[in-house]
Amino acid sequence: DDYDDTQLAVAPDRVYGRIPVEWGFDPVRVRYWHYRAAVNRGAMLVESGRAQEAVEELEFLRRTQPNHPDERYLLIDLAAARSAMDEPEVALKILEEILAKTPGAADAHYLYAIILVRQGRLEEAGKRFEETMRSLCYRGGYTATAGDGAGALGNRIAAAVIAAGRTDGANEAEH
């Protein structure tokens, strides 16, 4: 067996996994694995509606292992948990902390925009979404649908999805 059954952890892909035996008890690798497992557990708690529990666990991890190389992922999940607890301003401050260190963090820009939309701050959300697209190297004003390029293909797909959404019975025009 290639795994040590005594060290079960949640794998980065959010399914149960085991630490490979060849890692042995290398403290750096095992510490990294357990950190990622704890962060992913926090994300699962948020997704299952247990945001308060997620905040407690993620804050504990943040206090006990400051400046971890993967701290950004912990902070993203912590911001999502704070937002789920109707604490959007706290969530936005956490995201600003991430963006101060990593300005191109698309996941942080995206979550920031979502929180702004939930607050009805649509103009700010639009600007944040444009920043997200720029951080991913997309041209915001590119609207061409003709041609074989990836942008044109994406625009044709988006147009088809929008058109289908107009007749799917969701009544977007009334909301």
Q: What is the pLDDT of residue 105?
A: 81
The token duo for 138 is 């997309």
| Under-50 pLDDT residues of the chain | 1-17
Q: What is the pLDDT of residue 160?
A: 92
Letter for the amino acid at 72? Answer: R
Half-sphere exposure of 86 (CA within 13 A, CB side): 0
Q: Write out the DSSP string of 93-144.
A: HHHHHHHHH-TT-HHHHHHHHHHHHHTT-HHHHHHHHHHHHHHTT--TT---
Q: What is the pLDDT of residue 10?
A: 41
Beta bridge partners of 8: 18
The token duo for 145 is 């649908």
